[in-house]
Amino acid sequence: MADAHPPSGTGPLAKREARLAWGLLTPTITAVALVVVLPLLAIFWISIKPINLADLRAPEVVLREDLRGNPEAAGDAATIRYRLRNSSQEQPIGAVSFTDVIPDGLTVETLDDRCSLDGRNLSCALGDWAPGTRDTLTIPVTIGQAYFDNGLRPQDSPAVTDGASSNALTNSTFTLDNFARVFSGDEFFEVLWVTLFYTVFGTIGALLVGLFAALLLNKSFRGQGILRGLYLFPYVAPVIAVAFAWLILFDPFSGSANALILQMGVSQEAINFFGERPLALIMVTIFEIWRYFPLSFLFILARMQSIDTDMYESADMDGASPFQQFWYLSVPQLLGILSVLFLLRFIWTFNKFDDIFLLTGGNAGTRTLTVNVYEQAFAVSNIGAGAAVAVVIFGCLLTFSIFFLKYISQEEGL
Amino acid sequence: MRQGYVTGPVLGALWMIVLSVTVAVAMSFATGEAFRPSILLSLGWGAIAGVAMVALGRTRIVQVAVLIAIAAVVMLGIGPMLTGENTSAFARLFGAVALGAGFAISQAVILNEVVPGKLTRHEFEGAVIRFLTGFGYIFFTAIVLIPFYVMVMTSLKNQSELIQNPLDFSIDLSKGAALFRSYDELFTQFNFGTYLFNSFFISVLTVFITLAFAIPGAYAVARLRFRGQAAFSRSILLIYMVPMIVLALPIYIAFSMTGLRNSFWGIVMIYPVTTIPVALYMLQGYFRGLPAEIEEAGLMDGLSRLAVIWKITLPLSLPALASVSLYVFMIAWNEFLLAFMLLDDPSKFTLTRGIASLNSSEIPRQHLMAGSVIATVPIMALFLGLEKFMTKGLTAGSVKG
Q: Is the pLDDT higher at A63 or at A193?
A: A193
Find which of B85, B225, B249 to mutate to test the A interface (most A CBs within 10 Å of its CB): B249
User: How many Cα atoms are found within 13 Å in the side-chain-facing hemisphere of B89?
Assistant: 0
Q: Got the DSSP string for B115-168?
A: -SSB--HHHHHHHHHHHHHHHHHHHHHHHHHHHHHHHHHHHTS-HHHHHH-TT-
Model confidence pLDDT, tens digit, residues B182-229: 888 888 888 888 999 999 999 999 999 999 999 999 999 888 888 888
Prediction pTM value: 0.85
Residues of A in contact with B272 (CB under 8 A): 31
pLDDT of residue A2: 61
Q: Is the pLDDT higher at B65 or at A130?
A: B65
Q: Among A174-183, A301-310, B101-110, whose mean pLDDT is lowest?
A: A174-183
Beta-carbon contacts of A350 under 8 Å, excluding residues fewer than 6 positions away, are: A195, A199, A369, A370, A393, A396, A397, A400, B243
Give the closest-approach CA distance of A401 to chain B in angstroms.
7
Model confidence pLDDT, tens digit, residues B301-342: 988 888 988 888 898 888 888 888 988 999 999 999 999 988
User: Nearest by CB to A254, which of B84, B163, B351?
Assistant: B163
Q: Got the DSSP string for A17-58?
A: HHHHHHHHHHHHHHHHIIIIIHHHHHHHHHHTS---GGGGS-
User: Measured between alpha carbons, how far is A360 from A288 in angstroms, rounded to an integer?
Assistant: 13
Strand intervals (E) in A58-158: 61-68, 77-86, 93-101, 106-108, 115-118, 121-129, 134-143
Model confidence pLDDT, tens digit, residues B134-166: 999 999 999 999 999 989 888 888 777 777 777
Model confidence pLDDT, tens digit, residues B259-275: 888 888 889 988 998 88
Residues of B in contact with A344 (CB under 8 A): 399
- What is the C-alpha R_g of chain A? 35
Residues of B in contact with A236 (CB under 8 A): 330, 379-380, 383, 390
pLDDT of residue A167: 67
Q: Is the pLDDT higher at B385 or at B378?
A: B378
Q: What is the separation of C-alpha A121 from the centre of its chain, rounded to a whole number of angstroms?
A: 47
Q: Is B305's Cβ below 8 Å from some Cβ in A?
A: yes
Q: Is A28's Cβ below 8 Å from some Cβ in B?
A: yes
Q: How confident is the model at residue A410 (pLDDT cuts 50, 70, 90)?
A: low
Give the closest-approach CA distance of A31 to chain B in angstroms.
7
Interface of B with A in 169-208 (CB under 8 A): 169
User: Measured between alpha carbons, how far is A65 from A83 in angstroms, rounded to an integer?
Assistant: 6
Q: Is A77's Cβ below 8 Å from some Cβ in B?
A: no
SS3 A61: strand
Model confidence pLDDT, tens digit, residues A35-63: 888 888 888 888 888 877 777 666 777 88
Q: How confident is the model at residue A413 (pLDDT cuts 50, 70, 90)?
A: very low
Contact B391 A25 (CB under 8 A): no
User: Measured between alpha carbons, how far is A31 from B273 in angstroms, rounded to an integer?
Assistant: 7
Contact A239 B148 (CB under 8 A): no
Contact A264 B167 (CB under 8 A): no
Contact A241 B241 (CB under 8 A): no
Interface of A with B in 193-222 (CB under 8 A): 212-213, 215-216
- What is the C-alpha R_g of chain B? 29
pLDDT of residue A356: 92
User: Measured between alpha carbons, how far is B299 from B93 in angstroms, rounded to an integer?
Assistant: 75
pLDDT of residue B399: 44
Q: What is the DSSP letter of B261?
A: T
Predicted-assembly ipTM surpassing the 0.95 threshold: no
- A vs B: CB pairs below 8 A: 276
Quick count: other Cβ atoms within 10 Å of Cβ B126?
A: 19
CA-based nearest residue to B400, from B213, B239, B250: B239
- Kindly identify which residue of chain A lies nearest to residue B149, measuring between CA atoms: A245
Q: Is A383's Cβ below 8 Å from some Cβ in B?
A: yes
User: Measured between alpha carbons, how far is B167 from A353 in angstroms, rounded to an integer?
Assistant: 31
Q: Is A232's Cβ below 8 Å from some Cβ in B?
A: yes
